[in-house]
Amino acid sequence: MTNINTLTLTRPDDWHLHLRDGAALKAVLPDSARQFARAMIMPNLRPPVTSTALAVGYRQRILAALPAGIHFEPLMTLYLTDNTRAEEIKQAVASGVVHGVKLYPAGATTNSDSGVTDLAHCKKALAEMEKLGLPLLVHAEVTDVQVDIFDRERVFIERHMIPLLKDYPALKVVFEHITTKEAADFVLRSPANVAATITAHHLLMNRNAMFVGGVQPHHYCLPILKREEHRQALLKAATSGNAKFFLGTDSAPHAKHTKEAACGCAGMYTAHSAIELYAEAFDGVNALDKLEGFASFYGADFYGLARNTECIELRRQSWQIPASLPFDGDSLIPLRAGQTVAWKLQ
């Protein structure tokens, strides 16, 4: 399967993706659809995707925005609120198009103000999800302003993740975009119903990347980049061959002027060269043979979906990322803008 310069992979899936809506959706969707067969679509629109009816409508808009002849399956998620009813969970499962429910602690990140204020409000919905096997996708950061931003994921484990799994031991949980050694260790020692996604940017950069030569707003995302020891732990988890860890880009496009601002938005746009960035990260630790499981198999297995059958080919070929991309009358700065990536999708 692998030699030094080419890599053939079963077509991968992206288990955590922000596609936005309207003209922004149309601008970014081809980047993901070129590489991935499917993606788990985050529901943090304005207003958020809180019901199956809204998810079905959003899914149709995504399909309508696809370039002609391109096949791509959007897997929809619901945005959990304090008011999500058990009936809504039943409908979500019955729809066949909703594959997860996203927990944003209220105020944790972009468009999370309608998120959950206290999981105690979600008992019926969570019990129904546990019963029906609908996974909970967790943005695992506490919102307590007393807690240092670099510690918010670690503290979430103690305060919320452990109690959650104690109350709902059979609930399928995806610890989204893990960024710390503590999160990787937690997932490793949890039972098989607990898994995690890992982004390319957290595999490739540590927190220094936010400050090299001055403030780098395009390297600001949530959860925030962490110390090198955490990046090393994530690389170890991603390349371990353990099926609990799989690909989720958390590609989160924001217009250039909203990133390069006095109060800049959180999110990196990585979809433009996502699989290539992951290949570079795996190659960097001589683990290209572990990329296919991580990118193409383990996520589908966890969600109980069939693995893809077509293939993609990557070549070791340095290429330059554009300095900027068109974005809804504005511009979008992709990760590595104006710089090179070492692998290229053919």
Of 11, 17, 18, 58, the one binding ligand NCD by CB under 6 A: 18
- Report yes or no: 139 and 281 within 8 Å, Cβ to Cβ: no
- Known active-site residue 250: yes
317 contact choice in Zn ion, ligand NCD, none (CB below 5 to 8 Å, kind-dependent): none
φ/ψ of 129, rounded to 5, equals -65, -40
Near Zn ion by CB under 5 A, which window of 55-63, 80-88, 246-254, 258-266?
A: 246-254
**Shortest distance in whole angstroms from residue 267 CB to ligand NCD:** 3
Binding status of residue 14 toward ligand NCD by CB under 6 A: no
DSSP per-residue codes, 210-269: GTTTS--GGG--SSPP--HHHHHHHHHHHTS--TTEEE---B----HHHHSSTTPPP--B
Of 110, 232, 317, 331, the one binding ligand NCD (CB under 6 A) is 110
Nearer to ligand NCD, 252 or 271 (CB): 252
Among residues 56, 132, 165, 266, the one that binds ligand NCD under rule CB under 6 A = 266
* Contact status: 258 vs ligand NCD (CB under 6 A): no
What whole-number distance in Å separates Cα of residue 17 and Cα of residue 58? 14
Diameter of the chain measured on Cα atoms: 53
Does 181 sit near ligand NCD (CB under 6 A)? no
The one-letter amino acid code at 128 reads E
273 touches ligand NCD by CB under 6 A:
no
Residue 200 binds ligand NCD, judged by CB under 6 A: no
Q: Using the CB atoms, write b or e for 123-142: b if 16+ within 10 Å.
A: eebbebbbeeebbbbbbbbb
Do the Cβ atoms of 215 and 240 come closer than 8 Å? no
Spatial separation of the C-alpha atoms in residues 78 and 30, rounded to whole Å: 23
250 binds Zn ion (CB under 5 A): yes
Q: Which of 148, 250, 283, 289 is catalytic?
A: 250
Q: Return residues touching ligand NCD (CB under 6 A).
A: 18, 44, 109-110, 139, 221-222, 250, 252, 266-267
Residues belonging to the active site: 250
Q: Return residues touching Zn ion (CB under 5 A).
A: 250
